Amino acid sequence: MTERRLVRPAALQRLRDTYRTKGVLLPEIQRHVMKQSSAPRPDDHSLEHMHPSDLCKPDWCGRHDYYRIVGTPVEKESKANPSFRMENIWAEGTSIHSKFQTWLWEMGVLFGDWTCKACGHRWGALSPTECQFCRSERIVYSELPMRHERYMVEGHADAAVHADWWRGLVEVKSIGVNSWRFDAPLLWNRYQAGESAEDIWMGINRPFSSHLRQGMFYLWMTWPRYEQILFIYEAKFHQQTKEFLVDYNKSLIEPILEEVRDVAHAVRSGRQPPPRPSWAEDPVSRICTSCEYRRECWQLGATHGTQAHAQEAPAVLVTKSTGARRKRALRKT
């Protein structure tokens, strides 16, 4: 399945600006990247399942996923806002994942799904050297897919290692300043207060909470085949690395699993949607205003917010009084 992303006018203007940028090679690279960012790209997330990459976030909304799974029409299209800088950051994170997967492949311990670029065949194997169908060596790692049908959850881990000395899942995380902003607010506050990135990096001694929850969902879907997950952190600013080995602990995700179960039950029963999360106080809250199912969820009708409530009362026609009438009214007071 592919989808074409709508691009914000600001991003299109940045693309036009590259044509006025002075330089020999870099402007050409920027134009190429910006054009690619608005082209159709494959969607590796099924629309009919929930995903650990979303479930691990504190602002995950099961009601939103319910509307998506049952095929509720979206009320507005979310537009992409690409920039060369953000595409460069994304590519750097992808390359960090890719190099660790390649090294595990070369070591002969990388297990998961593989795709042949020559014939399109996909199969599961441990560090193969060629396509099992057409014998082409043009094969790529497609990570380790997993699915829990009862709870309607689907995901894929970065890697699975099958070695003599250890067997488990692997998640590779590229850590930069923005990682602290979104996944570790306390570290972000320290950085904002003037502490250096290097000092903050040295103090990281456990995976971030959102990463832990994501990893527990992967182990929950694959247990007892895999009982541990190993997080590899690499700092984007100096390429130093750390690893954290974590045992399966279902209690870390049990509250979320209850909400996930409610969503799956609501989808299968065809009845009312699951309750809104506790942080969804009203339709004008920060997260709800950006939701593409907001009007359906809050039953706001064709307009939104206070405008919808204003239309419930009949409009009052107001005309400006004449000067003589105003004078007579003032004499009576």
In whole angstroms, give the CA distance from residue 303 to residue 292: 13
pLDDT in tens, the chain (333 residues): 434 445 556 655 655 666 566 777 777 777 776 676 655 444 556 789 999 999 999 999 999 999 999 999 988 766 555 666 666 666 777 889 999 999 999 999 999 999 999 999 999 999 999 999 999 999 999 999 999 999 999 999 999 999 999 999 999 999 988 888 889 999 999 999 999 999 999 999 999 999 999 999 999 999 999 999 999 999 998 899 999 999 999 999 999 999 999 999 999 998 789 999 988 888 888 889 889 999 999 988 754 444 433 333 343 344 444 555 555 555 554
Q: Which amino acid is at 170?
A: V
Contact call for residues 109 and 161 (beta carbons, < 8 A): yes
Residues near 84 by beta carbon (within 8 Å), at least 6 away in sequence: 14, 18, 30, 33, 34
Contact call for residues 143 and 161 (beta carbons, < 8 A): no
pLDDT in tens, 192-218: 999 999 999 999 999 999 999 999 999
Q: What would the two tokens of residue 152 be?
A: 């309607």
DSSP H helical segments within the chain, as ranges?
9-18, 26-37, 52-55, 62-69, 84-107, 177-183, 185-192, 197-202, 209-222, 254-269, 294-298, 305-310, 323-332
